[in-house]
Chains A and B, each alone.
Chain A
Amino acid sequence: MNVQFWQIALIVLYGFFINYDKNGSMLGTSQPVVAGFLVGLILGDINTGLYIGGTLQLMTLGISSFGGASVPDYQTAALIGTYIAITTGQKAAIGITLAIPVAMLMVELDVLKWTVNIYFQNRAERYADEEKYNKIELMQLCGVFTTMLVSGLPVLLTVIAGPTLVKSIIAFIPQWVTGGLTVAGNLLPALGIGLLLRYLPVKSYFGYLVIGFIAAVYLKMTILGIALAGAAVALILYRRNNEELNTTQTIGGVNDDE
């Protein structure tokens, strides 16, 4: 398709914004499904964007970064994959195939950012000694800028290198790669779920996991339905535990509640 200048400009701006939003403003635009949707919206092909973004979102469900661990950056990858798939007129599967290695490579840039920002932190500490407080604010903004570069640069490069280069790369991708990655796309959500389970108290509350599983498999409930049922259970347990807590705390005191 013919890409207009305003479309390119918006994509690049979004490219710089997406990693900032992930760490700074957190308005929710830095999710694969949102990235796919917004790029599709800008380029006038929402369905392809939703499909690529939705697939990548499922692959990364539950994968989020805490305490400085770098994880593959699927949101920027979804942006780039959607842009390429739509502008080169390729199938959505190609966009997903290209997005996965991009997400992996982005880890390196993220590590680089964390490292470079140590310099700004140290400079800020020196400025504190010299009582130059405005310079500390400048150092913060430098750190914000490197954060924006992490996603902005790859997007900018994609747009500059343009569909022509990518087209010739796509021509080299053999069938077994796209086919294999389609299979991987179906299996990878298991990783996110496994990671999530490591966060949750599986051992003490294994039964609830089974209930959710049965609700989906045998009762064919949707996720929203299961979430509502889960919220009800959580509410009941919260109230009960809260009452228990209150009674243990007021033991020996007057309890005129009931």
Chain B
Amino acid sequence: MTMNEQVSNRTKNRVLFRWILNGGASLNYEKMMGLSYTYSMLPFLKENYKDDPKGLKESVKTHLQFFNTNPYLAPYVLGMNIEIEEQEKESSLKTIAGLKTGLMGPLAGLGDSVFVVIPWTIFGAIAANMALSGSPIGIFLWFIVTWFLRGLGIPLYKAGMKSGTSLLTSIETKMKLITESVSILGLMVVGGLIPTVVKPNLALSFKQGSLKLTGNQILDQIMPGLLPAALVFGVYYLLGKKIKPIYIILIIIVLSVGLYVLGIMK
């Protein structure tokens, strides 16, 4: 085996570049990101197995297997994979397949909440609220955040190459802490979002003598944000009963049309 033979940095950068451009863009039900992963790895594989067509074939077939994780964090897996496969060639394929399967679950869990759901909610809400008052500034803010998170792919890729497998366990505990802290941030923002973005608008009003109150005012006197909180709780409950979001959308639309026709909401 030619242990000292190095794959050029340019080729390694191409792997990351390919992933960032096309990572999740060929998803399929059977192997999810398997094809994208192989596509990204190919420049490296061709150079790594230059004189070993059998090894190349073996490796490509390994990488075509099922792979699905958070696209923001996948560079870490790619980096690790490249480092190990460059050293050990095809003898490492079993290890790599195991690593990929072992990593994709935790990384997806972390990445989906910390890199997608929470930032999208916070900056999506800010951008949307500013847009409704006619300002695109929130959108630019969101762009900056998105590009920053995307840009983290570069240090993650490098970290993957450096760590091989050694750092993995310590990173995993750190990740748990980060996820927990970010979840708390998320919960506080979501608590604030409930009365800000859910805005049931009652059309009813009550008159007694000279006193006239709209339905909204009466509800606000009981507790502001009562109706939004009740609605969110209802949806949360239904989701817990494994009712699909698309059905909940339909339920809400039908309900809304009914309430509008009956003159209860506007």
Contact = CB atoms under 8 A, between A and B. Distances in A.
Contacts of A215: 188, 191-192
A27 B131 contact: no
A128 B20 contact: no
Nearest to B45: A133
B132 A213 contact: no
A164 interface: no
A7 interface: no
Interface string A102-130: 00100100000111111011101100110
A191 to B, nearest CB: 5
Contacts of B13: none
Contact of A190 (B128, B182, B198, B246): B198
A72 B146 contact: no
A33 B141 CA distance: 13
B146 A27 contact: yes
Contacts of B34: 121
Contact of A209 (B187, B240, B245): B187
Residue with the greatest number of chain B CB neighbours at <10 A, chosen from A62, A71, A176, A245: A62
B64 A144 contact: no
A144 B22 contact: yes
Contact of B191 (A31, A183, A210): A210
Given A27-B147, A61-B121, A188-B252, A114 B29 contact: yes
A41 to B, nearest CB: 8
Contacts of B113: 199-200
Interface in B1-41: 20-32, 34-36, 38-39
Given A26-B71, A199-B113, A120 B26 contact: yes
B97 interface: no
A153 interface: no
Interface stretch (A8-16, A83-91, A165-173, A222-230): A222-230
B193 interface: yes
Interface in B56-82: 56-57, 60-61, 64, 68, 71-72
Contact of B189 (A194, A230, A235): A230
Residue with the greatest number of chain A CB neighbours at <10 A, chosen from B24, B35, B108, B248: B35
Contacts of A131: 53, 56-57
Given A58-B197, A125-B61, A100 B245 contact: no
B22 to A, nearest CB: 5
A67 B29 CA distance: 9
A56 B106 CA distance: 31
Interface in B103-146: 108, 112-113, 116-117, 120-122, 124-132, 134-136, 138-139, 142-143, 146
A249 to B, nearest CB: 9
B184 interface: yes
A237 B117 contact: no
B248 A118 contact: no
Interface string B150-181: 10000000000000000000000100011011
Given A64-B116, A114-B28, A117-B27, A57 B190 contact: no
Residue with the greatest number of chain A CB neighbours at <10 A, chosen from B72, B198, B261: B198
A190 B197 CA distance: 8
A118 B28 CA distance: 5
Contacts of B215: none
3 pairs of A and B residues whose beta carbons are closest in the complex = A212-B191, A143-B26, A180-B257
18 contacts: A25-B21, A26-B146, A31-B142, A33-B138, A66-B112, A72-B246, A118-B29, A124-B35, A133-B42, A136-B39, A181-B256, A190-B194, A190-B228, A190-B252, A191-B252, A209-B191, A212-B193, A223-B196
Interface of A: 20, 23-28, 31, 33-34, 36-37, 46-47, 50-51, 53-55, 57-58, 61-64, 66-68, 71-72, 100, 104, 107, 113-118, 120-122, 124-125, 128-129, 131, 133, 136-137, 139-140, 142-144, 146-147, 176-177, 179-184, 186-202, 205, 208-218, 221-224, 226-227, 229-231, 233-235, 237-238, 241-242, 245
Given A27-B147, A72-B249, A234-B185, 20 more contacts: A27-B150, A37-B131, A61-B125, A61-B193, A136-B38, A143-B27, A177-B257, A183-B260, A187-B231, A191-B252, A193-B194, A194-B238, A198-B236, A199-B113, A205-B183, A205-B184, A209-B188, A215-B188, A217-B195, A234-B181
